[in-house]
Copies of this chain bind each other. A is one copy, B any other.
């Protein structure tokens, strides 16, 4: 997630510290509440998105009748669909042009029978079984994201996306590890030693300048619980690590997992590398996904917009501001066509728009070229059995590794079923590039070989089907997200953050949530609000 700017002042903080020091935690939190800082009901209300969808009443109150305006939306990704959907609420006459043969853009769910051809002409057909799918693009929704509001509004059921799992593995062979460890084990060891060290330093008086006697007592109580420390504040293992024989009936107390590695071993293995991942505002559990595939969202958008308004297989070849509107040229079924409209919302990926003929000016073109695509990729591996559930008792979640597959995702649906689709790599940047240079068969082989090192031979022998998807090679998209130094409000991108004549720009790249549907939606809402205000003022 792009680092948002810090919005809070030091003087308030200093004030609060002084209140806290003299009044204790109670006075502190009371003061925070009074200042509107604490997460009370009032705080929740403050978080409500200020977006007001356009309504027909906005015009009828002015005594106007008829269509407010014609709008051509380029791109049926999430930004384009949100734009057409929200404008449609007020009666705007929207036409959506989509270059690809389906709506959703990077929101792409691959099911059995789906055929995709990449920009090099390499064609794959997914052999997945009925009910099995992979989300090749976005796959998770944080609770606070507006995407969930659209799931509610459009009737898209959701379920938990299993973003973190104590039973998943960490495996960093680059550090010399020769076997994976479970998250639960790695956390127990890292937190145990961190707690032991801090307890030692505290007890030795090394932090007397930082801690009052009360602080020390409270800190030690916390560390003992958090790190499972013994009475002498040392870490010697804990049942949190797991068991080799699970506890059960009388006579079976269970056997705790192995012996505890030393502090040096634990930190040398770098198992704590990704512990902070699950603290991210965008990644912290609970996370969610639509039931049945992420493309339930664009599908629901398309139905709400009216599928007759959406033209797929219709790549745009020219975008032109005229004095009183826009003319957009596209091809469909081998013929060249044009759409005239009052306004255009261009939601193409910026590096694709930069390759498209337009008369938007050199400042726009320079800004578009300043946005560089970044790459990511995934492979879906369908298995004949859910051996990760039966043999490893892993029901979802993510295994982390320093191999170039980066992440393995166990499926968040179909638990206890016969088959399932593992994401065998979800990698980015240079690791993604490694796989983009390979054939689908080579990608599969590389991913499976690495997965075998973690899970054993069933990772190969139970395999039933696979499908690899490299966003770099996806027609009309050619990227997963964007490199934009300075963030979307940096001066380099200013021409894209305002209308150019009758053309508006929207997309996740024009947000602080690049690569998230939340970013695409909020960008679209911003443009919809601006356009609607302009039309109302006209």
A441 at the interface (CB under 8 A from B): no
Judge whether A29 and B396 touch: CB under 8 Å. no
**For the complex, what is the distance from the CA of A513 to the CA of B243, rounded to whole Å?**
14
Judge whether B25 and A279 touch: CB under 8 Å. no
Q: Which residues of chain B are within 8 angstroms of A458 by Cβ–Cβ distance?
A: 41
A538 at the interface (CB under 8 A from B): no
Q: Tell me the residues in window 1-50 of chain A with beta carbons closer than 8 Å to chain B beta carbons.
A: 1-8, 12-13, 16-17, 20-21, 24-30, 32-33, 35-41, 43-47, 49
Judge whether B47 and A245 touch: CB under 8 Å. yes
Against B, the Cβ 8 Å flags (1 = close, 0 = not) of A261-284 are: 111111111101101101111001
Judge whether B44 and A248 touch: CB under 8 Å. no
**For the complex, what is the distance from the CA of A393 to the CA of B1, rounded to whole Å?**
19
Given contacts A166-B286, A201-B201, A243-B4, contact A179 B29 (CB under 8 A): yes
A246 at the interface (CB under 8 A from B): yes
Nearest B residue (CB) for A19: B265
A151 at the interface (CB under 8 A from B): yes
Shortest Cβ distance from residue A98 to the other chain B in the assembled complex, whole angstroms: 22
Against B, the Cβ 8 Å flags (1 = close, 0 = not) of A197-220 are: 110111010110011101100110
Judge whether A416 and B526 touch: CB under 8 Å. no
Shortest Cβ distance from residue A81 to the other chain B in the assembled complex, whole angstroms: 16
Judge whether A176 and B24 touch: CB under 8 Å. yes
Q: Out of B29, B37, B393, B522, name the residue touching A249 (CB < 8 Å).
A: B522
Judge whether B285 and A165 touch: CB under 8 Å. yes
Q: Tell me the residues in window 472-524 of chain A with beta carbons closer than 8 Å to chain B beta carbons.
A: 487-489, 493, 497, 510-513, 518-519, 522-523
Shortest Cβ distance from residue A145 to the other chain B in the assembled complex, whole angstroms: 8
Q: Out of B222, B395, B457, name the residue touching A267 (CB < 8 Å).
A: B222
Q: Which residues of chain B are within 8 angstroms of A47 by Cβ–Cβ distance?
A: 243-246, 393
**For the complex, what is the distance from the CA of A177 to the CA of B200, rounded to whole Å?**
29
- The stretch among A68-76, A106-114, A153-161, A330-338 that forms the contact with chain B is A153-161
Given contacts A248-B519, A288-B395, contact A267 B143 (CB under 8 A): no
A232 at the interface (CB under 8 A from B): no
A185 at the interface (CB under 8 A from B): yes
Give the size of the chain A interface in residues (CB under 8 angstroms). Answer: 162
A442 at the interface (CB under 8 A from B): no
Judge whether B7 and A254 touch: CB under 8 Å. yes
Shortest Cβ distance from residue A396 to the other chain B in the assembled complex, whole angstroms: 5
Nearest B residue (CB) for A184: B284
Judge whether B201 and A207 touch: CB under 8 Å. yes
Against B, the Cβ 8 Å flags (1 = close, 0 = not) of A212-256 are: 101100110011011010000000011110111111111111111
Judge whether B40 and A180 touch: CB under 8 Å. yes
Q: Out of B151, B211, B253, name the residue touching A512 (CB < 8 Å).
A: B253
Judge whether A259 and B45 touch: CB under 8 Å. no
A365 at the interface (CB under 8 A from B): no
Q: Out of B178, B218, B245, B394, name the residue touching A26 (CB < 8 Å).
A: B178
Q: Which residues of chain B are within 8 angstroms of A249 by Cβ–Cβ distance?
A: 488, 510-512, 519, 522-523, 525-526
Q: Out of B259, B267, B286, name the residue touching A8 (CB < 8 Å).
A: B259
Shortest Cβ distance from residue A265 to the other chain B in the assembled complex, whole angstroms: 4
Judge whether B184 and A281 touch: CB under 8 Å. yes
Judge whether A8 and B251 touch: CB under 8 Å. no
Nearest B residue (CB) for A165: B286
A164 at the interface (CB under 8 A from B): yes
**For the complex, what is the distance from the CA of A244 to the CA of B7, rounded to whole Å?**
10
A167 at the interface (CB under 8 A from B): yes
A419 at the interface (CB under 8 A from B): no
**For the complex, what is the distance from the CA of A260 to the CA of B15, rounded to whole Å?**
11
Judge whether A26 and B176 touch: CB under 8 Å. yes
A308 at the interface (CB under 8 A from B): no
Shortest Cβ distance from residue A67 to the other chain B in the assembled complex, whole angstroms: 26
Shortest Cβ distance from residue A10 to the other chain B in the assembled complex, whole angstroms: 9
A354 at the interface (CB under 8 A from B): no
Given contacts A288-B395, A456-B40, contact A513 B160 (CB under 8 A): no
A361 at the interface (CB under 8 A from B): no
Given contacts A25-B268, A248-B49, A286-B167, contact A228 B276 (CB under 8 A): yes
Shortest Cβ distance from residue A419 to the other chain B in the assembled complex, whole angstroms: 13
Known: A7-B245, A32-B259, A288-B415. 6 other contacts (CB 8 A): A4-B253, A49-B248, A198-B201, A240-B279, A247-B512, A251-B526
Closest 6 A-B residue pairs measured CB to CB?
A26-B176, A37-B258, A41-B456, A206-B206, A248-B522, A201-B201
17 contacts between A and B (CB under 8 A): A1-B247, A6-B256, A16-B261, A21-B264, A28-B262, A39-B179, A39-B180, A45-B391, A166-B284, A194-B219, A215-B263, A225-B272, A228-B279, A248-B512, A248-B522, A248-B525, A249-B511
